[in-house]
Amino acid sequence: MSDAPPRGVPPVGGAPLEPAPTGDPLPDDEPTLRNGVGWSLFALVASKLVSFVALLVLARILVPDEFGVVAAITTYLAFLEIASDLGVKAVVIYEQERDHSARVQTAFSLNLIVVAVATLIGIGLSWPVSAFFGLEDRHWLFLLGVFSLTCTGVSNIHDGLLLRELSLGRRVRPQLARGVVQAIVSIALAAAGLGAAAMVVGVVCGSLAWTLLLWSMTTFRPDFTLDRAIARSMVAYASGAWLFFVTSWLSIQADVLVVGHQLSTVDLGVYTMAYRLPELLVFNVAWTLSIVAFPALARERKRTDSDVVASTVGLIGWLALYALPIAATLAVLGQPIVDVLFSSRWSASGPVLSGVALAVAMLTVMTPISDAAKAVGRQWSMVVIYAAHVPLVVAAVLIASDRGPEAVAWASVAATIVFVVALLAWAHVALGITIGRVAAALRAPLAAVAGVCAVALPLRLLLQGDVPAVVLLVLGGLGAGAGALLALRVLVPGTLTAVAGEAGVGDVVARLRGRRSRAA
């Protein structure tokens, strides 16, 4: 398969997913970015399918107030999990060393100390954080959830080693185990009447399964040595990576934090339920790609004649071609989607979904820039950009909070637009990723969005209220897909051929034809 699209066809993302190395070649058996993406997407689809089925079941067992409680707790745990890493796992990936050297052993010991401290801090903060969300009577659930942090933290380095080697096929098993165990425990306990506690216990059990499998399937065993000189040498990159994780998390979660503090747990439940599908279908894909892109770009950086910019722009284009049409469909069909999938109990989440989907999509498409910054050691600049975005989101959301969750979602969209413009300006200056190259990469994705809106939006406006929600969802979904494909074929001819080529469709067809000819 050629690396370039057919003649006369502009590349969807400016570069193929697996650019041909011109410097130090990788060994023939070394995992590649393409294989890593394939395994990661498989793990994502499988684990998130389990999570989505569990969500559909739990949405019919629990009420919005209980989902709001769980949303507050999981937000707190997500922050603690980031804090417990302190960027040490990122150092293991960034340094690209082989085997289990003294630096890896020191990284484990350093990480273990951080996890222990973070656990104690998490226990100590559980009461004031529950008060922040107005959930003092559920303080014990925040306390219980901290053990999820401990379980995940002690396997940080094991996970980092798999990511360093791009061993994503092996990483599938703990990912699936985490999702399956969490789903089974949560549904069983919710059906038994435990309410919000069911989901918290499920999270803890899923994290425990994740850790046990990672330890059992990797050969790394710690000797608990801590070389202080090595530890000091890791601090510069690790601290920047950690602050990047923290500020980016705050940037993404700022709207949720404000809703949880300013509004009721019912409003928080409505808002987070609206977040579920964009997170599941859009942002999780970017997160999965980021898991692969960071070590792959870090490896690309070490080659003598690498082109990190071309690889980054290529990732933006391919990611946008998936994320933007999906987000546009969610935005246009938000109300019937919520009514059909989650029941009329969650009808208030429909209008919120439209705004949330757009904000999540914009953040998603820009994630390869963050990965490139980390890969070339420019994470401190990203810290500044994300840190500036946090007060912007908080201010916008606070202004809109009096008008409810829907207004909060659209305020988040406005703040995200400002953030994206600032990020692109920085990438242009610091990384050499020009606005023109990004615009070219987004040509096909934006054409697909235009096709979705041109067909699905009129259908929704004409049929909503006159036909059952499930009929509107089916017709609107089919119309969105058809509109996107037609727009790509007409406005950016050759894109679909390029997509099929990158997906290996042509190779599959050729093999099938070869089998048929041999059989004949």
- pLDDT digits 0-9 by tens, 129-164: 888 888 888 888 888 888 888 888 888 888 878 877
Distance CA 301, CA 162 (A): 19
Residue-level pLDDT at 449: 94
Q: Please give the residue range of the domain that contains residue 216.
A: 61-226
Task: Assess contact for 212 and 232: CB atoms under 8 A.
Answer: no
Distance CA 79, CA 126 (A): 12
Residues 6+ apart with CB under 8 A from 120: none
56 inside domain = no
* Residue of higher predicted confidence among 43 and 317: 317
**Residues 109 and 200 both lie in one domain:** yes
Beta bridge partners of 467: 464
In order of 77, 119, 201, the CA distances from 204 in angstroms are: 10, 14, 5
24-64 pLDDT, tens digit per residue, is: 333 434 444 555 555 555 665 666 677 767 777 777 777 67
488 inside domain = yes
**Residues 204 and 248 both lie in one domain:** no
Residue-level pLDDT at 47: 65
206-240 pLDDT, tens digit per residue, is: 889 988 988 988 888 888 888 888 878 777 666 76
Residue range 428-449: mean pLDDT, rounded: 90
Residue-level pLDDT at 254: 81
CA atoms within 13 A on the CB side of 410: 8
Residue-level pLDDT at 366: 87
**Residues 308 and 198 both lie in one domain:** no
The pairs formed by 458-463 with CB atoms below 8 angstroms and a separation of 24 or more are 460/332, 460/333, 460/336
Distance CA 123, CA 145 (A): 9
- At 213, which amino acid appears? L
Residue-level pLDDT at 25: 39
519 inside domain = no
- Nearest Cα neighbor of 178 from 195, 196, 161, 155 is 155
- Nearest Cα neighbor of 274 from 129, 468, 82, 410 is 410
- At 240, which amino acid appears? G
Task: Assess contact for 113 and 41: CB atoms under 8 A.
Answer: no
pLDDT band at residue 6 under the 50/70/90 scheme: very low
**Residues 161 and 81 both lie in one domain:** yes
Distance CA 300, CA 372 (A): 10
Q: Report the percentage of the chain scoring pLDDT > 90.
A: 13
**Residues 321 and 470 both lie in one domain:** yes
| For helices 284-301 and 33-59, angle between their N-to-C axes, nearest 10 degrees | 160
Residue-level pLDDT at 11: 36
Q: Provide the token pair at 418.
A: 């400002």
What's the DSSP call for residue 317? H
- Would you say how long the chain is, in residues? 520
| SS3 of residue 5 by DSSP | coil
Query: Minimum mean pLDDT among 30-44, 62-76, 161-175, 358-372: which range?
Result: 30-44
**Residues 68 and 44 both lie in one domain:** no
471-516 pLDDT, tens digit per residue, is: 999 999 999 999 999 999 999 888 888 777 765 544 544 554 555 5
* Residue of higher predicted confidence among 260 and 426: 426
Query: Minimum mean pLDDT among 253-267, 418-432, 442-456, 506-520: which range?
Result: 506-520
**Residues 117 and 261 both lie in one domain:** no
Residue-level pLDDT at 68: 78
* Residue of higher predicted confidence among 133 and 417: 417
**Residues 218 and 265 both lie in one domain:** no
pTM metric for this prediction: 0.64
Q: Report the percentage of the chain scoring pLDDT > 70.
A: 78
Check the CA dihedral 153-158-160-166 and report its sign: negative
Residue 85 dihedral angles phi and psi, to the nearest 5°: -85, -40
Total domains present in the chain: 2
262 inside domain = yes
Lookup result for tokens 């404000």? 258
**Residues 179 and 278 both lie in one domain:** no
**Residues 123 and 251 both lie in one domain:** no
**Residues 208 and 255 both lie in one domain:** no
The enclosing H or E element of 95 equals helix 88-95
pLDDT band at residue 290 under the 50/70/90 scheme: low
Q: Provide the token pair at 305.
A: 């004649």
CA atoms within 13 A on the CB side of 334: 25
Residue-level pLDDT at 17: 33
First to last CA, the chain: 27
318-364 pLDDT, tens digit per residue, is: 889 988 999 999 999 988 998 888 877 888 888 899 888 998 899 88
Residue 147 dihedral angles phi and psi, to the nearest 5°: -70, -20
CA atoms within 13 A on the CB side of 337: 25
Residue range 373-400: mean pLDDT, rounded: 83
In the predicted structure, residue 415 carries a pLDDT above the cut 60: yes
329 inside domain = yes
Q: Provide the token pair at 212.
A: 């046990």
Residues 6+ apart with CB under 8 A from 71: 256, 260, 268, 269, 271, 272
